[in-house]
Structure 1
Amino acid sequence: MARDDRDRLIACAEAAAAAAASVVRPCFRAPLDVARKHDDSPVTIADREAEQAMRRVIAAHFPKDGILGEEFGHEREGADRLWVLDPIDGTRAFITGRPLFGTLIGLLEEGRPVLGLIDQPITGERWLGFAGEALRFRGPLGGRPGCRSCPSLAEAELTATSPAMFSPDQAARFARLAGAVRRVSWGGDCYGYGLLALGLIDMIAEADLKLWDWAALVPVIESAGGAACDWQGRPLAIGGDGTILALGDPVCQEAALALLAG
């Protein structure tokens, strides 16, 4: 990809993140009506208006590109490029006043994730990954972009958002992996993947992810030197099984997958 094209895509993603943040920030810890979607997950006016703001920015920059968002579905299906949006990944954290959520912007070209952005509008942190390039990170709380070495499962910090995301079979498989690592923590949604990309977490294993949950994460993880696949070791893909294994150090992948095997 030409540098000018790459720069235009990155500028669009950054502008869309800024537009979403301008909606989300005033709503944080403010009184909000919380509705329930068909899958019983919560949604607020901040989710919906932030996604609309991002859609306007992308349409202005790249009117022929497709857009898929969690709240408003698909526009221009069949386009070679697809922007994938999750305005607030971690709505439960958002509505309970915890800054462990983020805005996700992913870009797929012919089904392959090439750009990913995680934006935390309250802490001011932003991770941006682009295929073949080093991770870009900025934020006032410290941290250096780049995953850390973790030569064995016994030394790994493992995390997942919630045990409720696992089916009984998946919970048993996760428990096998959890029994082999140093420590397990819960919570974080997309923010946990940002911490993995800063070398503060070694491994994340989750399930029940939709395309808008993971499309932005893959370029961030890979740009930081990590790896991401499903629990069968396959690349994450449209129509996949919704599982993810993210590793800061790919050397642990084979051992982790053996424990997660069905």
Structure 2
Amino acid sequence: MTDPNLIAFLDRLADSAGKAIMPHFRALDSVENKASAGFDPVTVADKASEQALRALINSHYPDHGIMGEEFGDEQTDAENVWILDPIDGTRAFISGLPVWGTLIGLVSGGKPALGMMAQPFTRERFAGDGTRAWYKGPEGERALKTRACAEIADAVLFTTTPALFKGADRKAYERVENQVRLVRYGCDCYAYCMVAAGFVDAVIEVGLHPYDIVALIPVIEGAGGRVTNWEGGPATSGGRVVASGDARLHDKILETLNR
């Protein structure tokens, strides 16, 4: 069972990130572009959030490592490493849409052990430790549970955008999309949380970094789902990822992607 002190600390981290972010949401702050080609936005809110998270971790768990999107790595050879995405969905953030979130994950012994997606605007938190998952928000508190969906034809599928899939990956993705009941685009980390909550059946993505997915793995798996790479292996390193609420569906999606 996960140390209750770590679970309480997860909420403290989320509180800290939310206080750093919310003064900047829908405030029309300036946006920087991190990419040398294309557009990869970062805001003062991203940086302030990660700085707040790092300060708390360093003060309470100085022997723990940190991997963050904005400020790099610290002690990543430690037994326990925090994986941070201060704002997952910065494009949604700068567009005023509330489908971004702060991702806080803890890897212990190389495996995702604890994770949370915190959305301070909607005041929602989706968390899990791989064996259970829970929700806190305006609706109160409840356990998270994925829903049964054995067939691709019955599934609701999300991805950020089909434009991310190139070449053979695009063809593989389209083999799945062309079979599902409903497909929706966007929502970033929120889509994964809807898998855990039982409203969405699968998410398929490519090009993920560890900080995009690690925090979400214990949430979805704790709710009864599966998260792997396209080959069926661990998704901790990111890359090409599939998250499903039902193991039967997951196997069929993997088979279709790799056909």
Aligned to 2:256: 259
The root-mean-square deviation of aligned C-alpha atoms, in Å, is 1.5
Aligned residue in 2 for 1:250: 247
1:126 aligned onto 2:122: no
CA distance in 2 between partners of 1:237 and 1:85 (Å): 13
| Deviation string, structure 1 residues 13-64 (Cα, Å, up to 9, x no partner) | 2111110000111111002110011363100000001000000111111111
Counterparts of 1:17 and 1:113, CA distance in 2: 18
Looking at structure 2, the residues matched to 47 and 83 of structure 1 have their Cα atoms a distance apart, in angstroms, of 16
Question: How does 1:171-186 map onto structure 2 within 5 Å?
Answer: 171-186=170-185
The aligned counterpart of 2:134 is 136
- Structure-1 separation of matches of 2:223 and 2:236: 20
Post-superposition Cα deviations, 1:181-221, rounded to whole Å, max 9, x if no partner, equal 11111011000111111100001100100000011010000
Matched to 2:133, the amino acid is L
Q: CA deviation at 1:107?
A: 0.4
Higher strand share: 2
Query: 1:54 maps to what in 2?
Result: 53
For residue 29 of structure 1, what is the aligned residue in structure 2? 26
Indicate conservation of the 8 Å contact 2:213/2:236, yes or no.
Answer: no
Distance in structure 2 (CA, Å) of the matches to 1:99 and 1:82: 28
Q: How far, CA to CA, are the matches of 2:231 and 2:26 in structure 1?
A: 39
**Alpha-carbon distance between aligned partners in 1 of 2:120 and 2:199, rounded to the nearest angstrom:** 20
User: Structure 1, unaligned stretches of length 5 or more?
Assistant: none
Report whether the alignment pairs 1:199 with 2:202.
Answer: no
Q: What SS does the aligned partner of 2:190 have?
A: helix
Asked whether the equivalents of residues 12 and 61 of structure 1 are also in contact (C-alpha less than 8 Å), the reply is no
Secondary structure of the residue aligned to 1:31 is: coil
| Equivalence for 1:189 | 188
Distance 2:171 2:196 in 1: 27
**Is residue 134–residue 143 contact of structure 2 (8 Å, CA) maintained in 1?**
no
Quote the Cα distance in structure 2 between the aligned partners of 1:139 and 1:166: 34
Decide which moves more: 135-144 or 52-61. 135-144
Q: How does 1:1-262 map to 2 (within 5 A)?
A: 6-38=3-35, 40-132=39-131, 134-140=132-138, 145-238=144-237, 242-261=239-258
The farther-off stretch of 202-211 and 246-255 is 246-255
Alpha-carbon shift at residue 233 of structure 1 (Å): 1.0
Aligned residue pairs total 256
C-alpha contact 1:159 1:184 (8 A) present in aligned 2: yes
**2:199, 2:113 → 1: CA distance?**
24
Hey, what's the Cα distance between the residues in 2 that align with 1:141 and 1:187?
Answer: 24
In the TM superposition, what is the alpha-carbon distance from 1:77 to its structure 2 partner?
2.9
Question: What's the offset of the Cα at 1:144?
Answer: 6.1
CA contact (8 A) 2:133 2:143 kept: no
**Deviation digits for residues 156-186 of structure 1, max 9, x if unmatched?**
0001011232222211111000112111110
Indicate if the aligned counterparts of 1:12 and 1:57 stay in contact, CA closer than 8 A.
no
Q: Distance in 2 between matches of 1:182 and 1:127?
A: 26
- The runs of at least 4 aligned residues of structure 1 exceeding 3 Å deviation read 141-144
Structure 2 SS opposite 1:103: strand
- How far apart, CA to CA, are the structure 1 residues paired with 2:206 and 2:47? 24
